[in-house]
Structure 1
Amino acid sequence: MLPITNYRDREGRLLSQGAAFGIASKGRVLPESDDGIRSPFQKDRDRIIHASAFRRLQYKTQVFMAPKGDEIRTRLTHTLEVAQLSRSVSDALGLNEDLVEAIALGHDLGHAPFGHTGEAVLDVKLKEIDPSLGFEHARQSLRVVDSLERRERGHGEVLFGLNLTYETRNGIASHSKGLEEMSKLEDMLSPQTLEGQIVRLCDRVAYVNHDLDDAIHAGIIDTTDVPAMTVEALGSFYSQRLDTMVLDIIRSSSAAGEIVMSQPIQEAMDNLMLFLKDRVYVHSEPKREEGKARDLLSRIFDFCMQDVRRMEPYLREHPMTCESDDPAPMLRGNLQSTARIVTDYVASMTDRMALKVATDLVMPHIYV
């Protein structure tokens, strides 16, 4: 026979004092029983992996829209790389790997199609309707796990939202951080656990490295274009840069008691981000396609605002957004509510779903 281990015993043996312990979790909005075998954070991770929003990440742009090669990263592969880096750091520091994995796997569930271009379009559209509104993928990711994700429970029972623990939700909501603070979430402004801090930093480590790697493989830049100071500090090839950054986070965080990088490595990473912004994110050839993506998503949004029946399949699957069988009259009377639902609908799309919806909306249907 093989013994069944209790997660409390496992955490007690393996985790350091600063870790987030499952038994000490602040819990879920809807309390659930504890079976003692799987920790609350393991359950969070499993629910995210089985979510339809997680599967859709496979067909959402990371940086390069409609890449010709199969090796260019998507939003899903980015998510998996963040999870792997976060687990490596967490394991070395004696922190909770289950929690960092749950946060990392859920951190981008709310991303719109076509990467940050889609995020910017939805933000503008909402602000045009009401300046107090806006779209941020971290906020939307929290909305997905709290309210939008469907869970079929059999016998016709459907639940909305994954009912995740506070610690996972906090890490998802507060993960967004660029060269300057990006998150404007009122109730979850910063990570409340060391595990959340790990994902926040490893998200940056992952995307600066794989975006550079993808740009080199796509022929947008050459390895010789990378600034010499960055190469000297971080390394000259992909795995070397990752190794340098991960080991630096582990050593610096161990000494500081919080999740940090040393100043030289932090500055080198920031300089690499600035280089990518200039050569890849803004001025590269593939980025010229973003104008088409902006126009496409804007037209979908406007069409759906004009007639919510265009979202009929989505509304059927999300009846909690409406209080009647016929949502159109109610939604027409509340512009902000309509905009929120249209935003949920558009943000849920993959790139190819957005292309199909745009075609269906614009192209005439031939019935002969």
Structure 2
Amino acid sequence: MADSSEGGGQDRAPWAVRPDQSRGRLHPEPGGDPRSPFQRDRDRIIHASAFRRLQYKTQVFVFHEGDHFRTRLTHSIEVAQIARSIARRLRLDEDLAEALALAHDLGHPPFGHAGEEALDSQMRPYGGFDHNAQSLKVVTLLESRYAGFDGLNLSWETLEGLAKHNGPLRRPPPYIAEYDRRHPLDLSTHASAEAQVAALADDIAYNNHDLDDGVRARLFTLEEAAALPLIGDAYQEARAHYPGIAPDRLISETVRRVINWMVQDVVAEAGRRIAALAPRSADDIRAADRPMVAFSAPMQEANLAIREFLFQRMYRHWRVNRTIQKSKRVTQLLFQLLHGGPQMLPRSWRDRAGEPGSAQAAMVVCDYIAGMTDRFALEEHRRLTDPNVPG
């Protein structure tokens, strides 16, 4: 029987996560709030400082390279819209899927994957750096908005989805393993269907919007991308439907169609997998031997072709390579200077850093840098390296 309790009267499937059966929060809070626990989670994420900073954290381009390219904030909003659409079609809890989509990039450092690779290399002696683990750390420790606890005190289901939305964690990153010892997240199973939806929505948004940004940045042409499966079909359909369409509208019409086809594919494939499993609860989804929310094999192949094209023509374009190398150097130097001289950290961070060069200093410096926006990282680099810039 479908569930329509809490959360706007959603007609939920039996295998959807039920807000009235949430496993609760690490720190119990008084009841009486008319919102469901996942609506409260979503609202806390949106009001978090880390969420606001996503506005100036970029995907591929550094913030000053153009006002029209995606940032982590616009990407997260687009992922949330796609996740909510898929969750509605599958009769899942839309609020949980949306909360996970909005929170999934909170742990990304400045400068996109370049910043992540640089931090990972500097943190290798201390367990490395993983942006998914950092997202969990942000919402369970680093945010400091509430008097009664560190972090946002999100519900168990949201934390579970953040930790393992990409699948079971056999060898979790250090922070996830540490947190799991205090508040077990069942790391050996799959996450809920809602978390799986958020992960697929991320893939859909990421590839399609990088295609859009890549064309608009003139790293490649739409006609070159149209040689790919799926992209070519969408391109030809848009041109046939709108003869003489302007190029900027043609790319939008092409990407819109590809997103729609991918969403339809995920809904159909998830429907087939769920029908075969015949789950009776959200825990049946978690205990399955494979994800229930996935692309079909042909769509997965097409998606991989798009990803490979973007890797070759966008992420390894000479202009992007220059940005990547500069961004890595900035991130590495910031880490080295502050790790060796934690007395240069702002007071609230310095008090926790311990001795110069220590493991504790490395952890604190890593958290400090990971929270930076592109703009702040560049300003901090200038303050630490240019004698003419006041500290």
Tell me the C-alpha RMSD between the 2 structures.
2.5
Give the AA of the match of 1:138.
Answer: N
Where does structure 1 lack aligned partners over 5 or more consecutive residues? Answer: 1-6
Cα 1:21–1:211 shift into 2, 3 Å: same
Structure-2 separation of matches of 1:105 and 1:173 = 14
Give the deviation of 1:340 after TM superposition.
0.5
Deviations along 1:190-231, whole A, 9 cap, x unmatched?
Answer: 642000000111111110000011000111000111253423
Greater shift after overlay, 87-96 or 191-200? 191-200
- CA change 1:190–1:313 in 2 (3 A) is farther
Matched, 1:272 2:306: yes
**Judging changes above 3 Å, is the alpha-carbon distance between structure 1 residues 8 and 231 closer, same or farther for their aligned structure 2 residues?**
closer
Map Cα deviations across residues 145-165 of structure 1 (whole Å, 9 max, x no partner). 00000105xxxx474200111
Query: Counterpart of 2:116?
Result: 119
Q: How many angstroms apart in 2 are the aligned matches of 1:29 and 1:209?
A: 37
1:173 maps onto 2:190 in alignment: no
1:337 shift after superposition: 1.2
305-314 or 241-250: bigger deviation: 305-314
What's the TM-score once normalised by structure 1's chain length? 0.86
Q: Structure 2: any 5+ residue segments left out of the alignment?
A: 181-186, 236-253, 275-291
**Aligned-partner residue type, residue 145 of structure 2:** R
Deviation at 1:8, TM superposition (A): 3.1
Partner Cα separation in structure 2 for residue 208 and residue 21 of structure 1: 31
Q: Percent of aligned pairs with the same residue?
A: 39
Equivalent in 150, 153, 160 of residue 163 of structure 1: 153
Deviations 1:167-207 (A, max 9, x none): 11121222458xxx997555536642000000111111110
1:207 aligns with 2:180: no
Q: Return closer, same or farther for 1:314/1:275 CA change in 2, 3 Å cut-off.
A: farther
Alpha-carbon spacing, 1:106–1:189, altered in 2? closer, same or farther (3 Å) = farther
CA shift, 1:33, in A, is 2.7
Name the structure 1 match of 2:100: 103
| Whole-angstrom distance in 1 between the partners of 2:357 and 2:336 | 15
Equivalent residue for 2:370, pick from 344, 347, 350: 347
**Aligned-partner SS, 2:229:** helix
- Cα 1:47–1:366 change in 2 (3 A) is closer
Paired residues of 1:170 and 1:191 also in contact (CA < 8 A): no
**Which consecutive aligned stretches of 4+ in structure 1 deviate over 4 angstroms post-superposition?**
9-13, 181-187
SS of equivalent to 1:198: helix
SS in 2 for 1:109: coil
Amino acid across the alignment from 1:103: L
Per-residue Cα deviation, 1:92-131 (whole angstroms, up to 9, x for no partner):
111001101111111110100000111111110011x34x
CA distance in 2, matches of 1:20, 1:366: 53
| 1:288 paired to 2:322 | yes
CA distance in 2, matches of 1:13, 1:49: 22
Which residue number in structure 1 is paired with residue 139 of structure 2? 145
Aligned position for 1:4: none
Are residues 298 and 176 of structure 1, via their aligned partners in 2, closer, same or farther at CA, if it must alter by over 3 Å? farther
Note if contact 1:107-1:173 (Cα within 8 Å) is conserved in structure 2: no
Q: Distance in 1 between matches of 2:206 and 2:21?
A: 32
Partner of 1:240: 257
Cα distance in structure 1, aligned partners of 2:347 and 2:264: 48
